[in-house]
Amino acid sequence: MNLTVWCQRCLTTPTLRVGMLMGLALLALNAGDAMAKDVFPFPVTNRTLDNGLRVVMVPFDSPGIVAYYTIVRAGSRNEVEPGKSGFAHFFEHMMFRGTDRFSGDAFNALYRHLGSDPNAFTSDDITVYHALVSKDGLEQVVDVESDRFMNLKYSESDFKQESKAVLGEYNKNYSDPENKLYEKSRETAFSTHTYKHTTMGFLQDIEDMPNQYAYSREFFRRYYAPQNCVVLVVGDFDTEKTFALLKKYYSPWKATADLATVPAEPQQTAVRTAHVDWNNATLPYLCVSFKAPAFDTKTKDTAALDLLGSLLFDETSPLYQELVIRDQKVEELSVYAPFRRDPGLFMVFAKVKDASQLDAVRNRIYQTVEEAATTPVDAKRLADVKSNVRYSFAMSLGTARSVAGQLTSVIGLTGDAAALNELYRRYDEVKADDLTRVAGSYLTRARATEVTLTGGAQ
């Protein structure tokens, strides 16, 4: 399912706890005390320039290679005006259109010369520009990247042409019923908050994008300012020399962020439902979404709910074994509960083999979360899921890019790389009664949205 909009040539995922890349970092994982220490094994240097731009530098053993990331803490969450859904993502495309110093062609030519492939992605909360470059090209990259954030310039004609590429992106994604189900679930679950729309945006808004040139400049003014951005460098470099480069090139950036208020979602009090008719062949789908809390590492709720998602719905869960393996009523069962700055969704997806089973599957999902609120999970399963989390993380630190990907997520959510270690401390602290508590607090029918999708035969 395409839940984040990967743009042009996207390389990494902003979702924590995803990824099974090879690791070169020797981590202490044998002992039960692993979580007492910081889970992130590399030294992190944080600095802030006078203009408010934060830089995070992480030397890493990737000979000759540097991962260079610019994290803008704005995404589709910040599309607060009606009719402007999808704009953060569209604007990300425009960032490749050049400046007076480096035209779009010159920008591409520079990276081509470096043998690199700059890319970007947008999600609900962040827009990230990234490239993997050779060490000796770093100054050129700092130069060209800082330049486009300070001096972006594009014509209305370029703007309109690019909007067609975005429409093409929508079209390619929406031959998949799962994307439509996801879109409808969010639209139904939220009445007010901007999480109502996906990062891709509503089709009617995408079709109107060519008329929004002025708004695009306004979006840039509001969010593309040093106080709202973080530059992250991971790989083979000298920290002080690199900081000097960053200071030299980014200090002239004088913009001031002007963050629009994101409207809060009112408390939901009753289950919401919707249905999608799909005009092509598909198995029937069901998505039950529960309102989840905002990402937080000061309490255990985020960590507990994340572990609970795995315990209740992933491949080793009793429900999965029942519905997918034993009874074979369901082809796929999965949970998607990404961390978000504001209260988001804990989504359970089921791809059902026969539409007559949709009600039964929905009832089993509710029974499962209701039991979780009253019946503590056994100690072995809790230990297993924590072990899975630890090893998944250890195995995701193998390359400069994957390390940058892990940090990007928490920096986007909190502005602070230290939240990564805090999160893993919270995982370690979760007890069985934390799981029953968060199940009872968040996974309730009053906070639920049910969306079904069924297709027509070809």
Partner 1 sequence: MNRRSLIMLPLIALLLAAITISLPHDARTANAGIPTVLLPIASSPLITFRIQFRAGAADDPEGKKGLTELTADMLTEGGTTKHSYEEITALLYPMASSVNAIVDKDVTTFVGTTHIDNLDRYLDLFLQVLLEPRFDARDFDRLRTNQKSYLENTLRGANDEELGKQSLNTFMYAGHPYGYPDQGLASNLDAITLDDVKAHYAKMFTRANVTIGLAGGYPKDLAGKVSKALEKLPATAPAHAAHPATRPISGIEVLAVEKDTRSTAISIGFPIDVTRADADFYALMVANSHLGEHRTMNGVLMNRMREVRGLNYGDYSYIEHFVQDGGTTFPITNIPRSEQYFSIWIRPVQPQHRQFALRLALFELNRLVTDGMTQAQFEEARSFVKNYSKLWAQDQGRRLGYLMDSRFYGMDDFLGTLPAKLDALTLDQVNAAIKKHLRSDNLKVAVVTKGAEAFLNDVANNTPSPIVYEAEGIPQAVIDEDKVVAVYKINVNKAASKVVNVAEMFK
Site for partner 1 in 304-333 (CB under 8 A): 315-316, 321, 324-325, 328, 331
Nearest to 238 by CA among 135, 336, 158, 162: 135
Query: Where does this chain touch partner 1 (CB under 8 A) — which range of 56-64, 226-234, 239-247, 407-415?
Result: 56-64
Quick one: tokens of 398? Answer: 């193998």
Of 78 and 452, nearer to partner 1 (C-beta) is: 452
CB closer to partner 1 out of 172 and 248: 172
Contact 430, 307 (CB under 8 A): yes
Angle at 181 between CA 290 and CA 183, to 5 degrees: 80
Segment 266 to 295, residues that bind partner 1, using CB under 8 A: 278-283
Q: Per rule CB under 8 A, is residue 210 in the interface with partner 1?
A: yes
CA distances from 270 to 92, 190, 267, 354, 372 (A): 37, 12, 10, 27, 20
Told to check if 136 binds partner 1 by CB under 8 A, we report yes
| Cβ 142 to partner 1 shortest distance, Å | 16
Q: Nearest approach, Cβ of 30 to partner 1 (angstroms)?
A: 6
Question: Segment near partner 1 (CB under 8 A), from 9-17, 291-299, 336-344, 367-375?
Answer: 9-17
Instruction: Indicate whether 13 belongs to the interface with partner 1 (CB under 8 A).
Output: yes
- Locate 130 and state its tokens: 């990234």
Residue whose CB is less far from partner 1, 5 or 443: 5
CA distance 311 to 41: 27
Strand partners, 276: 453
**Subset of residues 98 to 127 that bind partner 1, contact rule: CB under 8 A:** 104, 108, 112-117, 119
Tokens of 143: 């130069």
Nearer to partner 1, 56 or 206 (CB): 206
Member of 92, 124, 125, 162 binding partner 1 (CB under 8 A): 162
Beginning with the edge strand found earlier in the chain, give each strand of the sheet holding 285-291 in spatial order: 272-278, 448-455, 285-291, 345-352, 330-336
Mark residues 370-409: x for contact with partner 1 by CB under 8 A, - for none.
Answer: -------------xxx-xxxxxx-xx--xxxxx-------
Least separation in angstroms between CB 157 and partner 1:
4
**C-alpha dist (Å) from residue 315 to 141, 219, 244:** 43, 42, 48
